[in-house]
Amino acid sequence: MRPFHSEWDMFDKIKPILGTMAGATTAFSGSKYPTANVFYPYIVKVKIALRGAQQSADAYLSTMAAVMLLKFDKYWEERNNVMVIATILDPRFKKRYIKWCFGEIYDGSRCQPEFAEIHRELENLYNQFEKLYRQKMGDNNTQCAHQSSSSKGTSSSLSSVIPDEFNAYLQSSATESFKSELLIYLDEPNVPVDAKQFDLLSFWKLNAHRFPVVSSMAKRFLAVPASSVSSESTFSTGGRILDDYRSSLKPDTVQALMCASSWIQAPQIDKISITIELEDDDDGDVESVEFPNDLAREPNELARAGKQTEPSWVPGSVLLRAEPSQLVRQAEPSWLAVQP
């Protein structure tokens, strides 16, 4: 049955929404690149697309988008701060992108408080990471603090020359001009979003000496997967469902394999009725064939009864169409002469 023109028109209207959701699904399922930093941008993109459809002049599209938006807000209204911070740690986004997103998805009275909360949480996390970093560096300095006698003498002689007032001046100047790593990172210009050769992990590897604390935060947050797809695939005993071999099978072969699998797993019944369609039937007529009761018996039982275990009356090339509940459980389906 072919779709009507009105249905094609509706598909054209919802195609942008479906494309946005498909892109998000593909991005979240990745396993060879960080996904935490792109989670929030895709969530915001989907919400903006649904809001745009809700404001459409088309009544059907507007109603459908409103229902979808209610379901979307049920799961994604409460933001995930971990993913938001991971987005900030991507130099292509930083806080500037988060501030823009909040302005798009929140009203004016909510935008500023939400952004201030993210800023406070980011600073608190930075202070914790900085404390751990200083403790680590302090331990390393204690282990490596072995000075030679000449350097000790030089230090003592310099301390007698430089007055204490100069040290006080240095401390006051440092207090006025001090900027944390986090502020330096956030104040620098964003990396262009359309930079095709940009590698996020390589960026933090190259800039770890400039931002040792922020790079430690990036390692922690960017390691969080956006979905459980990669974990489920790793611990799955079945392996990949769509491997290269299975993806290359023809539709008729896949349908025959699915039919055989359903046949094996279906409960035993005394009689079944399967609809088959002959390949050489140009008119597309469908005929219903009622299988005899012998087919409901196990092949071993048929062999003991002295009956033929492979029915020769089944057409050599058929397309089986059956529900799983209509199929007979068989341990060895090779007795069914079906050519895929």
The owner of tokens 């230090």 is: 155
User: Structurally, how many domains does the chain consist of?
Assistant: 2
Q: Residue range 100-128: average pLDDT?
A: 92
pTM above 0.85, yes or no: no
Same domain, yes or no: 278 and 183: no
**Contact yes or no for 230/146 (Cβ under 8 A):** no
The owner of tokens 């003592």 is: 156
Burial class (CB in 10 A: 0-12, 13-18, 19+), 190: middle
Task: Please give the pLDDT value at position 241.
Answer: 57
Q: Which pLDDT band holds residue 250 (cuts at 50, 70, 90)?
A: confident
Q: Which pLDDT band holds residue 109 (cuts at 50, 70, 90)?
A: confident
Q: What is the pLDDT of residues 167-200, one digit of tens each?
A: 777 776 655 456 889 999 999 999 998 887 899 9
Q: Look up residue 201 and give its amino acid.
A: L
Burial class (CB in 10 A: 0-12, 13-18, 19+), 54: middle
Same domain, yes or no: 187 and 277: no
Same domain, yes or no: 185 and 56: yes
d(CA 40, CA 33): 16
Q: Which residues pair with 287 in a beta bridge?
A: 276
Q: Residue range 269-289: average pLDDT?
A: 47
Handedness of CA 64, 66, 71, 76 (dihedral sign): positive
Structural domain that includes position 194: 5-141+179-230
Same domain, yes or no: 186 and 65: yes
- What φ, ψ does residue 203 adopt, rounded to 5°? -60, -50
Same domain, yes or no: 36 and 86: yes
- Asked if residue 152 belongs to a domain, the reply is no
Same domain, yes or no: 254 and 115: no
User: pLDDT above 90 covers what percent of the chain?
Assistant: 34
Same domain, yes or no: 136 and 225: yes
85, pLDDT greater than 70 = yes
Reported residue count of the chain is 340
Compute CA distances 116 → 52, 92, 98, 120, whole Å: 27, 21, 11, 6
Q: What is the pLDDT of residues 9-59, one digit of tens each?
A: 888 888 889 999 999 988 888 878 888 999 999 999 999 999 999 998 888
Coil vs helix vs strand at 253 = helix
Task: Please give the pLDDT value at position 87.
Answer: 95
Query: Which tops the pLDDT comparison, 320 or 258?
Result: 258
Same domain, yes or no: 136 and 197: yes
